Structure 1
Amino acid sequence: MQNYRLKYGLLVLVLLINSLPARVFAAKELRIVSANGTLSEILVGLGLEKQIVGVDVTSTYPASLDKVPKIGHNRTIAAEGIITLNPDVIIYTDQSMISPMVIRQLKSSGKKVVEFRHEYSKEGAIKLIREVGAYFNAKPQAEKLVRTLQSDLARIPPVTSSKKLLFIYARGTGTLMVSGTGTSLDKMFGLAGYKNAVQDFSDFKPLTSESLIVANPDVLVLFSSGLESLEGMEGLLKVPGVAQTNAGRNKKVVSMDGQFLTGFGPRLGKAVIELAQKVK
């Protein structure tokens, strides 16, 4: 009788355990929406890719993120599209340029919304990785990413050059924009050891032939997609003023993947090295 009661008790205990929700025994896996390509890259590096249920269109690395539902691009992001993904948390950076109204709508819907500060520097990239790792309880994985980044940064070749670089943002032959001081491009040029050809304004401004000739860059830098939208080198040379610059005369144009060039995340060191090599 005693053995019977023991076996019966064990059976009841097993049935009870099996009926309990999984979160009683393990932390619930968060459903994450990332509105920033660098944050998405960090999440993947932390081993959290399976928990990502939505990303913005700048989340292009790694390529596996192409399969994740897209929520749009900074100012075009709508709260409704994010809410339908039923996320537990939405993350973005202070550089993401999401509408404050959208942020308010997300918060009022009861969703957890977290902003990370993203500074365009070596220290800023490391800090961002560590803060994301800490928030998602993945500090060891974050430190592994940091060590790899620090190793890459240590391999950046010392460059002392007077070459002037100018970044042109292009989406077809419509309004073209140039990058001034304080932008991610400006900071990348500095890390690679070069000067920004534009020093008299910050942020981005429309390109004019007159200002382009005055700046007279030695090298033009574009996103790969931007150069393609102009139909390559020949199309770029047709932009008023380009052919009259040192870069235009020497056909010195560098194109790189946009997220790689401006992400300031885990691949920052690799991006600086590639930029420096292409500018030589």
Structure 2
Amino acid sequence: MNFQFNKNRKLNLLAATLFVLSLGACNTGSQPKAESLPDSTKIVSLNGAISEVLAGIGLDKNIVGTDVTSNYPENLKSKPKVGHNRNINAEGILALQPNLIIAAKKDITPAISAQFKAAGVKLLLLDQEFSADGTKKIIHTLADSLHLQAKGDSLAKILDTDLAAVKPVTKKTKVLFIYARGAGTMMVGGTGTQVETAIKLAGGQNAVTEFADYKPLTAEALVKANPDVILLFDSGLQSLGGIPGVVKIQGVKETNAGKNKRIISMDGELLGSFGPRLGIAIQELATKLN
């Protein structure tokens, strides 16, 4: 596996020189040094994790626009926003006159890709896997593609250190994640979600295993799952009126979580983006579960 990973990195490095040189040729008409990205490169990032990696390898100054999920580090909040990465509008992005657009492959349709190509803008698409290895892969792939592999290696080492510092839950703990946007919109997280992966990394168990992805919350499903802890995003908890509002949801009082008022929340972008702060997110989640 390591051999294959190293082989892929070598291929990335080979492609990176050509990629950076092509950017420089488009921007300046002359051949730049391949050791770094040309200062004139203007980037639009369409993914929160990607934006964090770009900032982590020192390219936040090159970012001229982001999607609405890109809010860390703090200086990204002031960048022009081009909408949500699941609803991309090519015209709004091209209006920022970028010469490099970076996104997760799953978020860009062939039609949108064709629009960027027709406009002569470079498009770098990355596979995004919601796991610790997936986060390291996106760091290395992005840094290598932009010929900043040393900075990518440093960022990945920080992630490894953060993950190694996690003190996972030792007691069997069933966790139910509820995605909420007010009492009228509440969904339960099943298997295969980012949050389930985070729960497992923290040593917990997903309380729901009967279905994949998300389904509307019902009192029957809640009682059947009988979670020890109910987890929400901070925004979701606030939309329900805090812990008192969650306890009032039908079925909650019948669960172990409701009886013991074990209801916790975390920043949604921190917990769900699987960016360079993944280790910090899992540390916080494990601490709250403990």
> Could you say which TM-score interval applies, normalised by the shorter chain?
0.7 to 0.9
Whether 1:106 aligns to 2:116 is yes
Amino acid at match of 1:222: L
Q: Which residue does the alignment assign to 1:88?
A: 99
Q: Distance in 2 between matches of 1:178 and 1:98?
A: 27
- TM-score, with normalisation over the residues of structure 1? 0.87
Contact 1:185 1:262 in 2 (8 A): yes
1:75–1:99: 8 Å Cα contact kept in structure 2?
A: no
Question: Which residue in 2 is equivalent to 1:117?
Answer: 127
The 5-angstrom pairing of residues 130-169 of structure 1 reads: 130-169=140-179
The count of residues paired between Structure 1 and Structure 2 equals 259
In 1: Cα distance, 2:31 partner to 2:204 partner: 55
Cα gap change, 1:256/1:98 in structure 2, threshold over 3 Å: closer, same or farther?
farther
- Where do 1:1-280 residues align within 5 Å? 27-94=38-105, 97-280=107-290
TM-aligned CA distance change 1:226 to 1:101, over 3 Å: farther
Cα offset for 1:250?
Answer: 1.1
1:133 deviates by: 0.2
Residue by residue over 1:56-95, the C-alpha shift from the partner in whole angstroms, topping out at 9 and shown as x without a partner, is: 1111111111100001113333111111111111111145
Contact 1:221 1:254 survives alignment (8 Å): yes
Structure-1 separation of matches of 2:244 and 2:171? 27
Equivalent residue, structure 1, for 2:23 = none
Q: Following TM superposition, by how much is the alpha carbon of 1:100 offset from its aligned partner in structure 2, in angstroms?
A: 4.9
Quick one: percent identity of the two aligned structures? Answer: 48
Question: Which residue type is aligned with residue 80 of structure 1?
Answer: E
Q: What whole-Å deviation, never above 9, does each CA across 1:103-125 have from its counterpart, x for those lacking one? A: 44333333222211111222111
Deviates more, 1:241-250 or 1:220-229: 241-250
Distance 1:273 1:43 in 2: 23
Answer yes or no: is the 8 Å Cα contact 2:174–2:228 preserved in 1.
yes
- TM-score for both structures, normalised by structure 2: 0.84
| Unpaired segments ≥5 residues, structure 1 | 1-20
Give the Cα separation in 1 of the matches to 2:92 and 2:224: 45
Deviation at 1:195, TM superposition (A): 0.3
Contact 2:169–2:289 (8 Å) recurs in 1: no
| Contact 2:39 2:62 (8 Å CA) reproduced | no
Query: What displacement does 1:22 show?
Result: 9.0
Distance in 1 separating the partners of 2:108 and 2:246: 31
Find the structure with the greater CA-based Rg.
Answer: 1
Secondary structure in 1 aligned to 2:196? helix
Secondary structure of 1:74's partner? coil
For the structure 1 residues 202 and 236, does the alpha-carbon distance in structure 2 shift closer, same or farther, using more than 3 Å as the test?
Answer: same
Task: Tell me by how many angstroms 1:23 deviates.
Answer: 5.4
Shift in Å at residue 238 of structure 1?
A: 2.0
Aligned residue for 2:171, secondary structure, equals coil
Amino acid at match of 2:188: V
> Is the CA contact (8 Å cut-off) linking 2:176 and 2:227 kept in structure 1?
yes
Q: Which residue matches 1:13? A: none
